[in-house]
Structure 1
Amino acid sequence: MSFQLGSSLLDACVLAVLAREDAYGYSLTQQVREIMDISESTLYPVLRRLQKKEYLTTYDQPYQGRNRRYYRITESGMEKHKELTQEWVEYKQKIDSVLLGGKNDE
């Protein structure tokens, strides 16, 4: 996709993935990559920011002799996810209206 995607949309995508299940960094990157082009080096600052806002928590689990850091959405993260999802629906309807000339049937 050639459209620039803002940090709010990236936050929404990360929170949406984590709303379904906990994930470790690489797995999370792969899931978000299905939606948009993103690298791990881009994702980790996003995760730290969401964690600082208390939308995410972390825990470690051993995996093949090493610890793997998992991310889990918090209750306030779920609320933010719902808020961003609603904002996306409204934004998408407006964009569809402009791009499709009022034809937003899908």
Structure 2
Amino acid sequence: MGNQMTEMLKGTLEGIVLALLAGQPAYGYEITARLREQGFTDLVEGTVYALLVRIEQKGFVDVEKVPSEKGPPRKVYSLNPQGREQLAEFWRTWSFLAERIEQLHDDKER
């Protein structure tokens, strides 16, 4: 990923992860794998784990420890009502920014 992509991703990764969790609960590695399937191939697993700690501390997710066949229990994250509110705010902000950026792009094309 280029430097510009990395910087933009830093600002949006929380919303992206919340959107994934809105679909279904998941544990850290599972979230990383889904992001990679979506094309975020250079995403470092540690980045996702650090983000999960932050959104847990902010109260956006509920965490359940689920036994694992391979080692210690997994922390499964699910979006809670506060996280859904945060996700809705993310989508409102994203829509606003995307519209303005598209408008700037269209104005330059004319």
TM-score with structure 1 length normalisation? 0.84
CA RMSD of aligned residues (A): 2.0
Counterpart amino acid of 1:73?
Answer: L
Aligned-residue identity in percent: 27
Question: Are the aligned partners of 1:55 and 1:78 in contact in 2 as well (CA < 8 Å)?
Answer: yes
Q: CA deviation at 1:65?
A: 4.9
Deviation at 1:90, TM superposition (A): 0.8
Deviating 4+ runs (over 6 angstroms): none
Q: How does 1:47-86 map to 2 (within 5 A)?
A: 47-66=52-71, 67-86=73-92
TM-score by length of 2: 0.82
Structure 1 stretches lacking a partner, 5+ long = none
Q: CA deviation at 1:99?
A: 2.0
Q: In the alignment, is the contact (CA less than 8 A) between 1:8 and 1:84 conserved in 2? A: no
Residue 32 of structure 1 is matched in structure 2 by 35
Per-residue deviation, residues 25-64 of structure 1 (Å, max 9, x unmatched): 1110122232534211111111111111100121111221
Instruction: Evaluate the alpha carbon distance shift between residue 99 and residue 81 of structure 1 in structure 2; reply closer, same or farther with a 3 A threshold.
Output: same
More strand by share: 1
